[in-house]
């Protein structure tokens, strides 16, 4: 079997973790970590590149040494260095690195002094109160560690929406091919388009449940059948994602879809409303006096209760039923409302593809304009650009704009917000851009007041247009930056800058709850892909999903405007 990029990336990540626990040099640890990240992001198989004799050292951060190791993995499927490290360091110790507040140093220390070998061992030690007795730890630290372990265990169970999409779609097609399902839909948090999902819920309508379930358990991608019945079956797919399949009779499709779309809190509030009006509601329908009065469609059920149909993204019991009763639900932004994409990277920094390739693919996806926003120089590891670097790129932009029809390329940058709140490029350079996205990448560990001041200072620069991935979170890996979001929202309205909704699956940032909150203060947004290759440009749709979950309409989002109006609107006074 050819070695997948993800496998190579995993090996490098493990090497970096183990080296770190061993106390190896910081730069060495980081080199492996970055190589892992880079390889995971490539969508061309490395195997092909090696076979075609391509020079791997042309990839950022890959030197001769790492290129040799990649070749070794491609040829043998494993890496000798990793085997040696695993013989020296217990493999489970790397799990400890996930726990907030536990770095490699402490992981090594807990191993040496308490014999801890993995996360479960760490929990046992904490529960037994053995950690608080160690010098330099204390009861408070022990509690923090316990809380951290719980978080790690929770988040390990959730999947990024895009990953769940990629696994669920072919499975759904497989079920469809039986020809036995009349209706077939994804429900649950997936249908509500949450950034992460715990499991996948599929509703099928059929009079032949057995055939559907036989097909389900016979699917290639199934690793384990958790339970099988004619009405409900649960399987676990390879890769760990669990899928619940429920078969209901066609006349109950709407009520089943409604019930299993949730969220649970929405269901409960809806049922309470039904009861107040003298009905009962369950997955089989809306009933009154022993009769089923609505079941086939969701619209029918909501309608009977005097409610507008509620878009799944809003079903969280967060005011949507009250609005639906007043017929005042917002007209949510739609995927094809987006005309622009204002954040993406090319091969000049940490992207993979050329400006031309990015522009042509964006055009195919229906974008009318894009901003190219390669990193500024502070991001040294990806060779961020300086004034001259951008000047070269601008020439390329001008030439392409002359040549290409149907898409306009705007000159942009993703400029680092430095520790003291200044921007990583001088004002004269900044003035030359059409769009400046400002982001925090380094020195994240600040308290809320400091971070608020830092961002406010950066965004006060009249050349700044967009606050990029404002919370800086990485789902399942890194929590949000702390700041006073009300002060940022207020400044954005006053000064005319915008919050980004970064649609990278592991970012999804601003988070939906923050976006809804700042909207109420009058803040406005752009939705961007932050793509690092052409394959990632389509992720922008996830950003629209997020915007919908935040109750945003077309008017809230700047890149729904035609180019000329967009250019007027993004200018600051
Ligand atoms: P997840 O999978 O954790 O991302 O979140 P959901 O919302 O997909 O939750 P899941 O898979 O446990 O259940 C799917 C839907 O089924 C849920 O959104 C609402 C419905 N449901 C599940 N349990 C209950 C319940 O105890 N009461 C009510 N009313 N509905 C429930
Ligand atoms: Ca679910
Ligand atoms: Ca479920
Ligand atoms: Zn960034």
pLDDT digits (tens, 9 = 90+) for 137-170: 889 999 999 998 988 877 667 899 998 998 899 9
> What CATH number did the domain enclosing 527 receive?
3.20.20.140
Q: What is the pLDDT of residues 77-100, one digit of tens each?
A: 889 999 999 899 888 888 898 888
Closest ligand 1 atom to 268 CA: 29
| Cα-based angle 194, 315, 507 (whole degrees, multiple of 5) | 20
Q: 165 lies in which domain range? A: 155-248
Same-domain pairing of 148 and 163? no
Closest ligand 1 atom to 266 CA: 29
Alpha carbon 570 to chain centroid distance? 26
Taking residues 384-403, report their average pLDDT. Answer: 95
Whose CA is closest to atom 25 on ligand 1? 264
In this prediction, residue 43 has a pLDDT band, given cuts at 50, 70 and 90, of: low
Same-domain pairing of 217 and 177? yes
Whose CA is closest to atom 30 on ligand 1? 264
End residue of a domain, out of 212, 227, 248: 248
Closest ligand 1 atom to 196 CA: 4
Whose CA is closest to atom 23 on ligand 1? 264
Whose CA is closest to atom 26 on ligand 1? 264
Least confident range of 45-54, 104-113, 211-220, 453-462 = 45-54
Same-domain pairing of 417 and 490? yes
Tell me the Cα Rg of the chain.
Answer: 26
End residue of a domain, out of 154, 171, 189: 154
**Ligand 1 pocket check: which of 264, 274, 275 to mutate, most ligand atoms within 8 Å of Cβ?**
264
End residue of a domain, out of 154, 186, 202: 154
Ligand 3 centroid, distance to 197 Cα (angstroms): 9
Ligand 4 centroid, distance to 526 Cα (angstroms): 15
Task: Please spell the DSSP secondary structure of 446-489, one letter per residue.
Answer: --HHHHHHHHHHHHTSTT--EE-STT--BTTTB-PPP--HHHHH
> What CATH number did the domain enclosing 295 receive?
3.30.210.10
Same-domain pairing of 306 and 350? no
Q: How many CA atoms lie within 13 A of 7 on its CB side?
A: 16
The answer to whether 142 and 126 have CB atoms below 8 angstroms apart is: yes
**Whole-number Å distance between alpha carbons of 29 and 31:** 6
* Residues with a CB atom less than 6 Å from ligand 1: 188-189, 194, 197-199, 201, 259-260, 262-264, 267-268
Same-domain pairing of 365 and 489? yes
> What CATH number did the domain enclosing 120 receive?
1.10.150.110
Shortest CA distance to 274 belongs to which of 251, 260, 292?
Answer: 292
**Lookup: tokens for 219:** 């699917």
Same-domain pairing of 296 and 345? no
> What CATH number did the domain enclosing 201 receive?
3.30.460.10
**Ligand 1 pocket check: which of 161, 261, 267 to mutate, most ligand atoms within 8 Å of Cβ?**
267
Alpha carbon 362 to chain centroid distance? 20
Q: What is the pLDDT of residues 200-234, one digit of tens each?
A: 999 999 989 999 999 999 998 898 999 999 999 99
pTM for the structure as a whole: 0.79
pLDDT above 70 as % of the chain: 98
Ligand 1 centroid, distance to 476 Cα (angstroms): 21
Closest ligand 1 atom to 199 CA: 2
Tokens 């509690």 — which residue?
A: 143
Q: Is the pLDDT of residue 551 over 60?
A: yes
**Lookup: tokens for 521:** 């203060």
Same-domain pairing of 415 and 559? yes
Whose CA is closest to atom 28 on ligand 1? 264
Least confident range of 219-228, 281-290, 380-389, 514-523 = 380-389
**Whole-number Å distance between alpha carbons of 287 and 558:** 45
Whose CA is closest to atom 19 on ligand 1? 262
Q: Considering the chain, what is the average pLDDT of its residues?
A: 93
Using the 8-state DSSP alphabet, how is residue 225 labeled? E
Same-domain pairing of 134 and 144? yes
Number of domains in the chain: 4
**Ligand 1 pocket check: which of 203, 236, 262 to mutate, most ligand atoms within 8 Å of Cβ?**
262
Closest ligand 1 atom to 262 CA: 18
- Residues by chain with Cβ below 5 Å of ion ligand 3: 199, 201, 244
- Angstrom distances, CA of residue 168 to CA of 202, 210, 244, 294: 9, 20, 11, 29
**Whole-number Å distance between alpha carbons of 49 and 41:** 15
Same-domain pairing of 352 and 499? yes
Same-domain pairing of 189 and 173? yes
Q: What is the pLDDT of residues 1-35, one digit of tens each?
A: 467 777 888 899 899 999 999 989 989 999 999 89
pLDDT computed for residue 568 by the predictor: 96
Same-domain pairing of 488 and 366? yes
**Lookup: tokens for 438:** 């400002």
Same-domain pairing of 434 and 527? yes
Q: What is the pLDDT of residues 268-314, one digit of tens each?
A: 999 999 999 999 999 999 999 999 999 999 999 999 999 999 999 99
Ligand 3 centroid, distance to 235 Cα (angstroms): 11
Shortest CA distance to 161 belongs to which of 169, 173, 153?
Answer: 169
Q: How many CA atoms lie within 13 A of 418 on its CB side?
A: 10
Residue 412 burial (C-beta neighbours within 10 Å; 0-12, 13-18, 19+)? buried
pLDDT computed for residue 357 by the predictor: 96
**Whole-number Å distance between alpha carbons of 21 and 103:** 8
Looking at all shown ligands, the one closest to residue 155's CA atom is 1
């Amino acid at each position: 079997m050819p070695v997948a990029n993800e496998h190579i990336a995993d090996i490098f990540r493990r090497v970096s973790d183990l080296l770190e626990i061993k106390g190896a040099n910081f730069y060495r640890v980081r080199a492996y970590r970055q190589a892992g990240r880079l390889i995971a992001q490539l969508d061309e198989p490395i195997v092909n590149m090696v076979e075609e004799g391509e020079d791997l050292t042309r990839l950022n951060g890959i030197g001769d040494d790492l290129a040799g190791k990649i070749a070794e993995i491609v040829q043998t499927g494993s890496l000798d260095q990793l085997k040696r490290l695993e013989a020296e360091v217990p493999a489970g110790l790397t799990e400890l690195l996930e726990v907030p507040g536990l770095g490699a140093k402490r992981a090594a220390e807990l191993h040496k002094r308490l014999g801890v070998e993995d996360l479960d061992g760490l929990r046992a030690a904490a529960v037994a109160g053995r950690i608080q007795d160690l010098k330099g730890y204390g009861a408070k630290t022990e509690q923090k560690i316990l809380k951290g372990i719980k978080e790690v265990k929770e988040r390990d169970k959730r999947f990024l929406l895009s990953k769940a999409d990629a696994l669920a779609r072919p499975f759904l097609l497989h079920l469809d091919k039986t020809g036995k399902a009349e209706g077939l839909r994804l429900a649950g948090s997936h249908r509500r388009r949450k950034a992460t999902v715990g499991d996948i819920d599929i509703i099928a309508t059929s009079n032949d449940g057995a055939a559907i379930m036989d097909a389900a358990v016979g699917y290639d991608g199934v690793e384990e059948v958790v339970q099988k019945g004619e009405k409900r079956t649960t399987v676990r797919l390879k890769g760990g994602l669990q899928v619940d399949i429920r078969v209901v009779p066609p006349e109950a499709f709407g009520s089943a879809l409604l019930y299993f779309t949730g969220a649970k809190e929405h269901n409960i509030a809806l049922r309470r409303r039904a009861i107040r009006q003298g009905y009962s509601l369950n997955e089989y329908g809306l009933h009154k006096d022993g009769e089923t009065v609505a079941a086939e469609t969701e619209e029918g059920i909501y309608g009977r209760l005097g409610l507008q149909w509620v878009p799944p993204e809003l079903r969280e019991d967060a005011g949507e039923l009250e609005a639906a009763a007043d017929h005042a639900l917002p007209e949510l932004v739609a995927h094809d409302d987006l005309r622009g994409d204002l954040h993406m990277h090319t091969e000049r920094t940490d992207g993979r593809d050329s400006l031309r390739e990015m522009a042509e693919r964006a055009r195919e996806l229906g974008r009318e304009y894009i901003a190219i926003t390669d990193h500024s120089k502070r991001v040294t590891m990806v060779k961020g650009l300086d004034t001259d670097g951008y000047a070269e790129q601008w020439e390329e932009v001008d030439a392409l704009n002359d040549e290409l029809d149907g898409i306009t390329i705007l000159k942009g940058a993703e400029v680092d917000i430095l520790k003291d709140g200044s921007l990583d490029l001088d004002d004269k350079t900044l003035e030359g851009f059409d769009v400046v996205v400002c982001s925090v990448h380094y020195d994240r560990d600040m308290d809320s007041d400091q971070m608020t001041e830092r961002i406010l200072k950066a965004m006060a620069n009249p050349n700044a247009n967009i606050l990029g991935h404002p919370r800086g979170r990485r789902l399942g890996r890194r929590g949000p930056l702390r700041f006073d979001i009300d002060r940022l929202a207020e400044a954005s309205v006053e000064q005319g800058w915008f919050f980004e909704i970064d649609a990278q699956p592991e970012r999804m940032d601003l988070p939906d709850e923050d976006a809804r909150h700042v909207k109420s203060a009058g803040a406005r947004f752009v939705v961007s892909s932050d793509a690092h290759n052409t394959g990632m440009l389509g992720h922008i749709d996830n950003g629209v999903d997020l915007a919908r979950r935040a109750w945003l309409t077309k008017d809230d989002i700047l890149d729904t405007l035609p180019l000329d109006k967009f250019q007027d609107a993004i200018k600051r006074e």
